[in-house]
Amino acid sequence: MSLIPRSRTARAHILFLAVPILLFGAFYIYPIAASVRLSLHDWNGFSPDQRFVGLRNYAALWGQPRFINAVLNNLAWVAFMLTVPTGIGLALAAILDRGIRGETMFRIIFFLPFTIPAVSVGAIWRWMYEPSNGLLTTTLELVGLGGLAQNWLGDPDIVTFALMGAVAWWTTGFAFLVFFAGLRNIPEECIEAARIEGGSDWQIFWKVSFPLLWPSTIIVLGISAIDAMRLFDVIWATTKGGPAYASEVLAVQMYDLAFGRFQMGRASAVAVSLLVLSAVVIMPYIWYMTRRVQDAEVE
């Protein structure tokens, strides 16, 4: 029996499937496999020689407070990204969905920060957070709340929270836009029916609109979680993970080890650890959400 189908249509299907599978293998599977292989070697990134060291790179990492700190920071970012920008985006979308005046202008204002490149976001907030004369400190002093001003990017205890503020400003526009589009796609008759039944605005939102926003919610939460795990550019542009590793996440540590310290093997071990951590944190969510969508479609 020949493995090549006789039907011309079937052969076309195989051909069309082969292209994405080859691309997926070349640009996704192969780099992952190469990273795993590299994580078992000692290599400075420039030498023709790579020395096999087994699991030594992993052993060195997992005993380091620096690595543990970066993992915890990543988990904190996941919790933050799933709640704050998402929550604010949902609230803004719900407010604007009520048809207030200047809706178009507000839509642009809310979404505009998301169009700014990450490096520029870092530069903007580097100045916003300047601890003596920055916009935030100056504003707090002007309204008599100077006592709340902090060493925003220089205090190891608060630098991550300060960065979260910058990222919230940057990414909320995305959540807002997806939720807003979702709200506008909810059939008007559902809202009308709830209103005729005597539901308040609050009840209509939580009992009718929000459940119908599930597809939008899945997109926003899924992308937010992935963004949190691969977060790099804003932190690198703003603090480079400092002061003294306080704001470092795994992607920043990976970059520092690879190109700041010529430790490509250990950087690959960080990359593989990040991949595993992302899979553990995000895959159950994606599986659960996918099941919920399927269930909702069945219902």
Partner 1 sequence: MNRTATLALIAGAAFAGAPAGAQETYEIWHYYAAGSELAGMNAMIENGNAASDDAVFEGVIIPGNVVELRRQLQSAMLGGQPPAAYQSSMAFELRTFVDSGQLHPLTDVWNTVNGDEIFPEGVQRVVKIDGVPYGVPYDLSLINNIFYNKEIFEELELDAPTDWDEFDATCAALSEAGYEPLGNAGGPFWSLYNFYAPLVSVVGVDGYYDLASGELGFDSEEFSTALDLYAEHMVPCYADNWSGKTWTQTADDVVNGDTGMFMMGIWVAAYFEQAGFMAGEDFDMFPAPGTADAAIFQMDVLAVPNGPDDAIAAAEVFIEAAASTEGQAAFAVPKGSLAPNVNVDPSVYGYAGASFSEQFSAASEAGKVLPNLFFLLPTDVGTELGVQIERFAIDPSDETKEEVISTLEAMRQSALEEDAFLNW
List contacts with partner 1 (CB under 8 A): 44-48, 126, 129-132, 151-156, 239-240, 242-245, 255-256, 258-263
Calpha distance 199→205 (Å, rounded):
9
Residue 159 CB, nearest distance to partner 1 (Å)? 8
Pairwise CA distance, residues 249 & 71, whole Å = 7
Helix (H, G, I), strand (E, B) or coil at 41: strand
**Cβ-count burial 6-31 (b if 16+ within 10 Å, e if not):** eeeeeeeeeeeeeeeeeeeeeeeeee
State the nearest-atom distance from the C-beta of 26 to partner 1, in Å. Answer: 17
Give me the least distance between CB of 231 and partner 1, in Å please.
18
Closer residue to partner 1 (CB): 179 or 248? 248
Q: Cβ of residue 267: shortest distance to partner 1, in angstroms?
A: 11
CA distances from 100 to 14, 93, 205, 217 (A): 52, 11, 16, 23
Quote the CA–CA distance of 42 and 15 in Å, as a whole number.
Answer: 40
> What is the distance between the alpha carbons of residues 236 and 119, in angstroms, rounded to a whole number?
8
Cβ atoms within 10 Å of 198's Cβ, excluding its own: 7
- 129 or 205: whose CB is closer to partner 1? 129
| Element spanning 187, H or E | none
Which of 80, 74, 129 is closest to 241 using CA atoms? 74
How would you classify the pairing of strands 41-42 and 51-52? antiparallel
Closest to partner 1 by CB, 125 vs 180, is 125
Which tokens in the block code for residue 95?
A: 């407010």
* Length of the chain counted residue by residue: 299
Q: Which pair of tokens denotes residue 4? A: 């090549």
230: Cα within 13 Å, side-chain hemisphere:
9
- Cβ-contact 270, 250 below 8 angstroms: yes
Region of 249 (left: φ > 0; alpha: ψ -120 to 50; beta: rest) is beta
- The CB-of-32 to partner 1 minimum distance in angstroms stands at 19
